[in-house]
Chain A
Amino acid sequence: MTAHGFAHTPARPAAIGAFPLQGFRPFVRKELVEWIRSWRAVILFGVATAMMVLSTLSARFAELTAQANGVPVPADLSLDPTLNVIAKWPEWLFFFAIVFSVNLLIVERDRGTLAWTLSKPISRTALLAGKWTAGMIAFVVFGLILPMAACVVAAIVAYGMPDLGTVAVATVLLAATPAFFFALTLAAAVVLPSQPPVAGVAIAVAIAPGILGTFVPGIAEALPPSIGPWAVLFAVGAPVSAVTPIAWAVGTIAAAVFGIAMLRRADL
């Protein structure tokens, strides 16, 4: 270590006051690089593509299996290319979103880098917003758009050309599912001590529409996780409830506000 010739003159006078997203950009940049360099993005792409391409092809497999066994093809089996591309996404998307978001904040806290980053000129709001934004960008690209493109290719081979407009609308709307679950797991991670309880909360919320819907008719469409099926129905032009997107927006914003408020109060 040598101090000779070292210039340290403070760069500028201190600015008074912080804006809420101070430090957002460099943090998002770091997060995106981490998604790539930790192989998280590649693993997400591989898992999502494998699962969803198989789901896309499942109707054709069912048809071929029935023919091979000499039994009639099930009457409700649809070989519509567009439906086979998009219909199974709501069943899996929440699962991918939970798995790939549950450790985002917990790991930072456990390894001490959360406190280290927050010792720089970055607000806690910006840190949480940056986690969500980078996570969404990476997830939508590697867990939704690219696997969806692979599903389209698989559908072309197996069934014929899908309606790309419908697929595009569904892709955009399906992004609402990770948007909600990323906000939920980040908020839960602020107040819960480790990954298992965070995952537990997220899974409980994800399956709530299915369970509560059996007891309270109509409640399912008023719960944020129903946004996945809603997105597919909307994309294919089926009648949909106006309550679901409102519930999704309220749920996502509430999770974000709760997470930010709790992180701002936390001692690190």
Chain B
Amino acid sequence: MTATSQPAIELTNLTKRFGSVTALDAVTFDVPRGSIYGFLGPNGAGKTTAIKILAGLTHATSGGATVDGIRASAEGAHRRSLGYLAQEPRFYDWMSGRETLRYVAGFYDGIDHPERRADELIRLVGIADAADRKVKTYSGGMRQRLGIAQALVGRPSVVVLDEPAAALDPIGRRDVLELLRALRSEATILYSTHILEDVQRISDHVAILDHGRLVRAAATQDLLASFSTDRLVVVLGGASDSTAVDVATLPGVAGVTIAGPSNGGLGFEVATRPGAGDAAQAAITRYAADHGLVLISNQREVLDLESVFLRLVDPQEVAA
């Protein structure tokens, strides 16, 4: 396997038990190089445990993980390639933000000008005004920004962030997303979050954990596409309530609900028979043409990531 084809992160049968509690159960997935990888799961799913194993802070009970091809371990050779932000970042309160970044820079051989690197990151994360204040005076959001900066000090090829936007206001959250996008070409990013809208917006891959087990790991678009439903969203210009009765009789259509006015027409939610989605779409297109209606929309309903997530991990949704 070449350096470029090798995954940036590999989790292989990663298992962690705390006494009788299994926090991770044979979790296996790869994070492709150069990707932004969303790591999702409800509270207690095992995300933080997996991330701590990647950082070399916690030992796997069995299985293992590699970062940049180097086995993640307590002794930390792999951490030369890894930038890590903990869920609740803690720093030395007696240091300033600038001193914190200089301290971290000291651990990396390749940082020729630690001061310059610290300045660059201070500007990047927007804490220039507070850079020389002691960290103990920082707000939660400023600590989070400093946390992101310290994760990037060593110019890591892999960045692992445990809920990087958790303590940030909407502006800070937007800034973090921008930064992650900017890093895409230079680093592989694995990050956990509960903000699924963000994941759908910027992540090209997602892995979903639940009760320590990997529920799904896939490219984001593939995952969403795999959850396309047996429903069509149809909007017809010039249609009336009686149109619903006609549409309900078309081939492949199982039922019709009037959704109301939409985009200059009348909207319908059309339930299709299993495997008959294409036939129903074609029939609706023909119907509109035959009846002089303007076909504004005739699309399969696509679930957003939040809906997919709930279907995968929410017991009620799973049962439904």
Q: Please indicate the chain A residues that have their CB under 8 angstroms from the CB of B156 in the complex.
A: 10
CB < 8 Å neighbour of A23 from B88, B107, B155: B107
CB < 8 Å neighbour of A10 from B69, B104, B187: B187
Q: Please indicate the chain A residues that have their CB under 8 angstroms from the CB of B187 in the complex.
A: 8, 10
Q: Are A115 and B107 neighbours in the complex by a CB distance under 8 Å?
A: no
Question: Which A121-143 residues have a C-beta within 8 angstroms of B?
Answer: 121-125
Per the bound structure, the CA–CA distance linking A265 and B75 in Å amounts to 10
Q: Are B179 and A3 neighbours in the complex by a CB distance under 8 Å?
A: yes
CB < 8 Å neighbour of B186 from A2, A10, A18, A125: A10
Q: Are A9 and B57 neighbours in the complex by a CB distance under 8 Å?
A: no
Q: Are A9 and B186 neighbours in the complex by a CB distance under 8 Å?
A: yes
Q: Are A122 and B80 neighbours in the complex by a CB distance under 8 Å?
A: no
CB < 8 Å neighbour of A121 from B93, B103, B124, B154: B154
CB < 8 Å neighbour of A125 from B70, B75, B90, B94: B75
Q: Are A111 and B155 neighbours in the complex by a CB distance under 8 Å?
A: no
Q: Is chain A's interface secondary structure helix, strand, loop, or mixed overall? A: loop
Q: Please indicate the chain A residues that have their CB under 8 angstroms from the CB of B125 in the complex.
A: 1
Q: How far is the CB of B55 from chain A (nearest CB, A)?
A: 5
Q: Please indicate the chain A residues that have their CB under 8 angstroms from the CB of B181 in the complex.
A: 3
Asked if A17 lies at the interface with its beta carbon under 8 angstroms from chain B, I say yes
Asked if B191 lies at the interface with its beta carbon under 8 angstroms from chain A, I say no
Q: Please indicate the chain A residues that have their CB under 8 angstroms from the CB of B176 in the complex.
A: 1
A20 and chain B: residue at smallest CB distance: B75
Q: How far is the CB of B278 from chain A (nearest CB, A)?
A: 43
Q: Are A26 and B107 neighbours in the complex by a CB distance under 8 Å?
A: yes
Per the bound structure, the CA–CA distance linking A112 and B154 in Å amounts to 21
Q: Chain B 140-166, CB within 8 Å of chain A: the 1/0 string?
A: 000001001000101111000000000
Question: Which B52-74 residues have a C-beta within 8 angstroms of A?
Answer: 52, 55-59, 68-70, 74
CB < 8 Å neighbour of A115 from B86, B94, B103: B86
Between A12, A25, A118, the greatest number of chain B beta carbons within 10 A of the residue's beta carbon is seen for A12
Q: Please indicate the chain A residues that have their CB under 8 angstroms from the CB of B52 in the complex.
A: 267-268
Q: How far is the CB of B67 from chain A (nearest CB, A)?
A: 8
B152 and chain A: residue at smallest CB distance: A8
| Given A111-B90, A118-B57, A119-B84, also A25-B106 (CB < 8 A) | yes
Q: Are B58 and A264 neighbours in the complex by a CB distance under 8 Å?
A: no
Q: Are B94 and A34 neighbours in the complex by a CB distance under 8 Å?
A: yes
Asked if B126 lies at the interface with its beta carbon under 8 angstroms from chain A, I say yes
Q: Are A1 and B145 neighbours in the complex by a CB distance under 8 Å?
A: yes
Q: How far is the CB of A125 from chain B (nearest CB, A)?
A: 7
Q: How far is the CB of B262 from chain A (nearest CB, A)?
A: 37
B103 and chain A: residue at smallest CB distance: A30
Q: How far is the CB of A211 from chain B (nearest CB, A)?
A: 38
Q: How far is the CB of A247 from chain B (nearest CB, A)?
A: 31
Q: Are B124 and A14 neighbours in the complex by a CB distance under 8 Å?
A: no
Q: Chain B 116-136, CB within 8 Å of chain A: the 1/0 string?
A: 000010011110000000000
CB < 8 Å neighbour of A118 from B76, B89, B94, B157: B76
Top 5 nearest A-B pairs by Cβ distance? A11-B110, A26-B106, A3-B182, A112-B90, A1-B175
Q: 27 A-B Cβ contacts within 8 A?
A: A1-B124, A1-B172, A1-B179, A4-B182, A6-B179, A6-B182, A8-B152, A8-B183, A12-B109, A12-B110, A14-B81, A18-B76, A18-B77, A25-B106, A34-B92, A34-B94, A38-B94, A116-B91, A118-B76, A119-B56, A120-B104, A120-B107, A121-B77, A121-B108, A122-B107, A123-B75, A124-B74
